[in-house]
């Protein structure tokens, strides 16, 4: 599409001219108990607060108002679990009833407005109901990824100090059942703060032992409340600036970093994004293949699609192995999804198992029109493979746990801009994105620098960290005064397209030359036999750092790995030049990742440099790090 046929530039210019008017207009799409007195108060909070004086309720906007508008029988949630062998459709009316009932249970267990509730749950409908029930009564939920290590859960219990913890007996992974309850029991034993009660969902795959006086059975409490509920079911009015949830960022040591999300700004930005960024209309089926434990799950499995009045697919499965690399195509076809949002790593896994896309031919994807990728950098070869396989636009976009929604993307709802592989496209309204040097001076187009956002941040972005204002300022605002530090590095081209090349830690210094590991990964991923790769800088006495590439080969490749490694070294030398000093490529069976699909580059680097390291709490399979260590030792690296 020609950029001139998109409304993006006009809309972005309108936001620049009148940011408060822009967001006031967006806020009118929601229901308020009391409308905000202004769009923004620059004197409130650390950098200002959105929609001061507004009174609202997120659950009302996500559920009740759709029922009141006569759309109660529309599907709100489609639960599809190949792991549990269950499929279930929940209408908006049923979702409202279940949320009302659980809200009553929460009240019976002593939860009130402003109290914290931790959710330690698998991908089941009850988890969505629990988030909404907390929002309904003005409680603050904090979802901890199900199966997180006990010590990590304990630090979050001590920081949030929950009145109540909602959990389940187990989660399900391909080929195994993960018992959650023993981890929860251990976490509570480790934590100084003790919750008043725990509500436990017993799943048929594994029943959990209950602690008398503390633990309550979810089904029993629900059934009792359904008949004997003592509490008014109406949504509790909260200030737009009141917290909706705390989400702890992964990989933190010591006291965890709790990203705070407010009610009003969050709703406004997410509602706007569904229509204008993703191009989705109310009533359409939308699927985000992620987990509610991550920000993507909060924003785009639960809140945004429900606030917008869509049908949201809740999928408990994997891109491969449940049962094969055609799992995503089945879900899209079976439920009529018009768009999907997932991480690039999911598509790299599918490409590795089914490089020709043969399994796609078994499914009718005629309703499917857009694939959105985010979570880590979408390497151009994977993006191109997805385009060729699906024959629909594949849109990379970039945002963070802290922002809650997209910083830079390609606004399909305003008219798609031309796609540039390797770029997450352009800044969304609300974000004034700059690329700067260490002195906070803008760098020229196409020059590498730190990516920052001029304050104030738009609605839905974190106003602060949970009970840690000073830490918020130190972590995000101190280094570049007047700007929010994304800690990502990259560049902007002459058209204003943003290229995020990696975390600022991923810019390596090779004999005085600042080089992007993302650029090298792009070259390696283009090799016909490479399914996935990661490049990181390892210590070198002469040059300070030199790049090392880890390669995962496609299924069915029969050539000697050493031959492919040599070709990859030659490719980087050809495409980037000798300055990269790229001489080491190592073939591995898989890359160590978090459960959300992010490659654990920092831990791999520590192993390669022979430094001490600790097992990341978010790792999907700890054995993958042992495999990396063995591969490095074969090359004489890793101490």
Q: Render pLDDT for 579-600 as a digit per residue (tens, 0 to 9).
A: 778 999 999 999 998 877 788 8
Instruction: Identify the pLDDT of residue 152.
Output: 86
Task: Provide the pLDDT confidence category of residue 377 given band limits of 50, 70 and 90.
Answer: confident
Asked if residue 231 has pLDDT above 50, the reply is yes
Given pLDDT bands bounded at 50, 70 and 90, which one contains residue 514?
low
CB 548 within 8 A of CB 608: yes
In the predicted structure, residue 1 carries a pLDDT above the cut 50: no
Cβ contacts of 158 within 8 Å, gap of 6 or more? 191, 192, 193
Coil vs helix vs strand at 484: strand
Residue 252 binned pLDDT confidence (cut-offs 50, 70, 90): very low
Strands (E) located in 275-361: 285-288, 311-315, 339-342
Cα gap 132→141, rounded to integer Å: 9
Write the secondary structure of 165-201 as one string of H (helix), E (strand) and C (coil).
Answer: EEEECEEEECCEEEECHHHHHHHHHHCCCCCCEEEEE
Is the model's pLDDT at 288 over the cut of 70? yes
Task: Give residue 503's pLDDT.
Answer: 76
What is residue 608's three-state secondary structure?
helix
- Say whether pLDDT at 232 is over 80: no
User: What pLDDT, on the 0 to 100 scale, is given for residue 455?
Assistant: 98
Q: Residue 3 has what pLDDT?
A: 61
Q: What are the respective helix, strand and coil percentages of the chain, to the nearest 5?
A: 35, 25, 40
Q: Where does the pLDDT of residue 438 fall: very low under 50, low under 70, confident under 90, or very high at 90 and above?
A: confident
Fold of 511-634: GMP Synthetase; Chain A, domain 3 (3.30.300)
Task: Choose between 461 and 541: higher pLDDT.
Answer: 461
Calculate the dihedral angle through the C-alpha atoms of 481, 483, 484, 487, rounding to the nearest 10 degrees.
Answer: -80
| Alpha-carbon gap, residue 468 to 594, rounded angstroms | 26
Cα–Cα distance for residue pair 147/277, rounded to 1 Å: 33
Q: Where are the domains of the chain?
A: 511-634
Residue 10 · residue 32 · CB < 8 Å: no
By percentage, how much of the chain surpasses pLDDT 90?
A: 80
Can you give the pLDDT at residue 510? 73
Q: What is the pTM of this model?
A: 0.86
- Residue 393 CB partners (closer than 8 Å, separation 6+): 369, 370, 371, 387, 412, 416, 419
Phi, psi of 421 (to 5 degrees): -60, 135
Which has more confidence, 203 or 602? 203
- Rg of the chain taking only CA atoms, in angstroms: 24
Residue 253: the pLDDT is: 52
Output the pLDDT for position 169.
98
Average pLDDT rounded to a whole number, residues 549-567: 94
**How large is the average pLDDT for residues 215-238?**
88
Window from 144-153, 211-220, 264-273 with minimum mean pLDDT: 144-153
| Cβ-based neighbour number of residue 309 at 10 Å | 22
> Average pLDDT over the chain, rounded to whole?
93
Is residue 532 within 8 A of residue 329, CB to CB? The reply is: no
**What is the Cα–Cα distance from 153 to 156, expressed in whole angstroms?**
5
**What is the rounded average pLDDT of the residues 29-46?**
97
Compare 221 and 509 and report the one with higher pLDDT: 221
pLDDT band at 376 (very low <50, low <70, confident <90, very high): confident
Asked if the model's pLDDT at residue 261 lies above 70, the reply is yes
d(CA 412, CA 248): 30
Smallest CA-to-CA distance from 494 within 13, 3, 19 is with 3
């Amino acid at each position: 599409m020609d950029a001139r046929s998109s409304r993006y530039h006009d809309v972005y210019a309108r936001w620049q001219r009148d940011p408060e008017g822009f967001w006031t207009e967006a806020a009118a799409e929601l229901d308020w108990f009391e409308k905000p007195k202004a769009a923004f108060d620059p004197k409130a909070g650390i950098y200002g607060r959105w929609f001061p004086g507004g009174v609202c309720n997120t659950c009302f906007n996500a559920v009740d108002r759709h029922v009141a508008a006569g759309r109660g029988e529309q599907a709100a949630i489609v639960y599809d679990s190949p792991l549990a062998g269950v499929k279930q459709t929940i209408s908006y009316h049923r979702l409202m009833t279940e949320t009302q009932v659980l809200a009553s249970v929460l009240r019976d267990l002593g939860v009130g407005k402003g109290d914290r509730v931790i959710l330690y749950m698998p991908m089941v409908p009850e988890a969505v109901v629990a988030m909404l029930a907390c929002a309904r009564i003005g409680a603050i939920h904090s979802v901890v990824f199900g199966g997180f290590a006990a010590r990590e859960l304990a630090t979050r219990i001590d920081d949030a100090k929950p009145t109540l913890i909602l959990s389940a007996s187990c989660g399900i992974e391909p080929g195994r059942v993960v018992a959650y309850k023993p981890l929860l029991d251990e976490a509570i034993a480790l934590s100084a703060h003790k919750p008043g009660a725990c509500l436990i969902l017993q799943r048929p795959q594994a029943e959990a032992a209950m602690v008398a006086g503390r633990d309550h059975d979810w089904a029993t409490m629900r059934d009792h409340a359904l008949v004997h509920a003592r509490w008014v079911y109406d949504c509790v009015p909260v200030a737009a600036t009141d917290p909706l949830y705390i989400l702890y960022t992964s990989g933190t040591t010591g006291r965890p970093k709790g990203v705070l999300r407010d009610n009003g700004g969050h709703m406004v930005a997410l509602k706007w994004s569904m229509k204008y960024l993703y191009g989705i209309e109310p009533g359409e089926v939308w699927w985000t293949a992620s987990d509610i434990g991550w920000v993507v799950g909060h924003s785009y499995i639960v809140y945004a699609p429900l606030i917008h009045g869509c049908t949201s697919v809740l999928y408990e499965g994997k891109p491969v192995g449940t049962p094969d690399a055609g799992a995503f195509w089945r879900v899209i076809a079976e439920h009529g999804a018009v768009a999907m949002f997932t991480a690039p790593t999911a598509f790299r896994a599918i490409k590795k198992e089914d490089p020709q896309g043969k399994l796609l031919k078994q499914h009718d994807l005629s309703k499917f029109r857009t694939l959105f990728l985010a979570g880590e950098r979408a390497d151009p070869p994977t993006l191109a493979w997805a385009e060729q396989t699906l024959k629909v636009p594949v849109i990379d976009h970039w945002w963070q746990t802290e922002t809650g929604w997209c910083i830079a993307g390609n606004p399909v709802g305003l008219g798609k801009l031309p796609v540039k592989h390797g770029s997450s496209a352009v800044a969304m309204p609300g974000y004034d994105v700059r690329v700067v040097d260490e002195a906070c001076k803008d760098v020229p187009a196409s020059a590498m620098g730190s990516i920052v956002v001029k304050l104030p941040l738009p609605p839905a972005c974190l106003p602060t960290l949970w009970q840690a204002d000073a830490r918020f300022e130190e972590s995000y605002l101190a280094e570049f005064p007047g700007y929010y530090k994304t800690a990502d590095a990259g560049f902007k081209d002459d058209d204003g397209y943003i290229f995020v090349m990696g975390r600022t830690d991923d810019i390596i210094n090779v004999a005085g030359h600042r080089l992007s590991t993302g650029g090298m990964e792009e070259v390696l991923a283009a090799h016909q036999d490479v399914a996935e790769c990661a490049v990181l800088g390892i210590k070198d006495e002469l040059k300070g750092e030199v790049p090392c590439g880890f390669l995962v080969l496609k299924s069915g490749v029969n050539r000697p790995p050493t031959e492919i490694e040599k070709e990859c070294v030659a490719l980087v030398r050809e495409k980037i030049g000798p300055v990269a000093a790229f001489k080491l490529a190592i073939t591995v069976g898989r890359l160590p990742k978090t459960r959300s699909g992010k490659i654990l580059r920092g831990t791999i680097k520590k192993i390669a440099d022979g430094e001490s390291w600790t097992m990341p709490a978010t790792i999907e399979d700890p054995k993958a790090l042992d495999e990396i260590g063995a591969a490095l030792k074969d090359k004489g690296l890793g101490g």
